Amino acid sequence: MADNLTIRQMPYSLEAEQALLGAVISDAEKLNEVPFLKTSDFYLSQHQTIYSILVDMYRQSKRIDMVTLLDELGKAEALKGTDLVKYIKLLVESAAFSSNIEEHAKIIRDKAVLRTLIDVSQGITEDAYSAVEDVDTIVGNAEQRIYDISNSKYTEGFSHISEAIKEDLDILDRRANDPESLMGVSSHYKELDNILRLGKGDLIIVGGRPGMGKTTFAMNIGTNVAKAPLKDGTMPEVVVFSLEMTKQQLAERILSAEALVDSNSLMKGSITTDMWKKLADAAGRLSKTQLLLDESSNITVTEMKAKLRRLKNLGLVIIDYLQLMHSERHTDNRVLEIGNITRDLKLMAKDLGVPVILCSQLRRESSATSKPGERMPQISDLRDSGAIEQDADAVVLLHRDDYYNTGDGESDGGIPVAKVIVAKNRHGAPGTINLSWYGSYFKFVSVETRYEDK
């Protein structure tokens, strides 16, 4: 089979390459219509040389005609032995039958992508045969190389303001007719949704000092999203990368929150008949979702992307937590490494078109002897902060006075109140909301909601 592949003609369009070159020779201004086209997109080496020289002449504001072009082409070693006069005339004649240079350029580019795909596929085949690296690495590299091809986009040049306005007016019209459709993913906390929606492509940092409940808060949102069907009736895939807890530990927390069963009872095995019924009902509800858990402790951003790209209905990604991650680019500077990670995660969110919630620790600067008002977290408290704030579209900080056992924290009818501080909101104003904290259930709820905490 490999022999058959090697003798097959690589995909290219002679007609499109000749017509485009002829069009540029006749009118160099047409280069402005195809800013995305690269010299390497041409298949024939002589066409690459001619196009490169045409682009150089145009950039240097040199007049392009038969005389000046032939003079420049005559200096090119790659064209030695070619009847240049005859071939240039042929190119100009090829352009006479079509004026659609942009379509020709797209054909040339598409053929170039196909050739790249063939080259990459052959490289993947060689990697599989040689098996120098472990299977997971080979598969991950293969997926990354294929993805890089599918995701490679040439810069299309400028867009006139009228085009951008038209696109925005279309979005505004859709938003007016269906406000929910373009507002991002709902956290299903009404108070929070009024300030912040989880936008597609957004990186949302959830920060808190140890014990504040950042993992619980992120998982509550993840469960809420996973239980809500999309408009087409399908269930969104919500992926949780847990670098700290095992999937069993995480599942027990999720089950406790969904069933409203005391987590201490689960840990001790003191489970009543009523609790078993609640757990069974909750397990049934959760089994209908697409809540996916990954407990890989040393996973990289590239490996995350490889796994996520296999999913067809991805709605939300949760990562717990930032300080346990390591960059693939080695550096002894931890702040720089964290910056590399957050930048890669932002690009991942943008490439996949889904919100990514990233849990992050805060520094322990504030001591338990401080007054509650002095312990309110700020963005500057993010550990190894560096570029975290810069890359994040939103930063949400959690604070609970009850954690410090001072007796002077806020409560709502005896239920501890957590402050959810939207300290940064790229798409709107910052703000603060209150949520009730049911620690025994690992659950944050709207203050209007009441549970009997047993």
**CA 202 – CA 353 distance, rounded (Å):** 8
Strand 415-425, strand 431-438: pairing: antiparallel
Helical ranges in 60-134 per DSSP H: 66-73, 84-95, 101-130
Q: What are phi and psi of 438, to 5 degrees?
A: -105, 85
Q: What are the beta bridge partners of residue 433?
A: 420
Half-sphere exposure (CA, 13 Å, Cβ side) for 256?
Answer: 25
- Pick left, alpha or beta for residue 384 (phi over 0 → left; psi -120 to 50 → alpha; otherwise beta): left
The two three-digit tokens of residue 162, written as one number: 């009228």
Q: What are the beta bridge partners of residue 442?
A: none
384: Cβ contacts below 8 Å, ≥ 6 apart? 323, 334, 335, 338
**CA 334 – CA 98 distance, rounded (Å):** 57
133 is catalytic: no
**CA 333 – CA 341 distance, rounded (Å):** 13
**CA 318 – CA 243 distance, rounded (Å):** 11
183: Cβ contacts below 8 Å, ≥ 6 apart? 175, 197
- Residue 126: closest CA among 144, 138, 112, 140: 138
Among candidate residues 102, 244, 389, 410, the one labeled active-site is 244
Kindly provide the residue ranges of all beta strands, DSSP E only, lying in 387-450, ordered along the sequence: 394-399, 411-412, 415-425, 431-438, 443-446
Q: Is 417:434 a contact under the CB 8 Å cutoff?
A: yes
Q: Is 35:9 a contact under the CB 8 Å cutoff?
A: no
Half-sphere exposure (CA, 13 Å, Cβ side) for 426?
Answer: 15
Residues marked as catalytic: 244
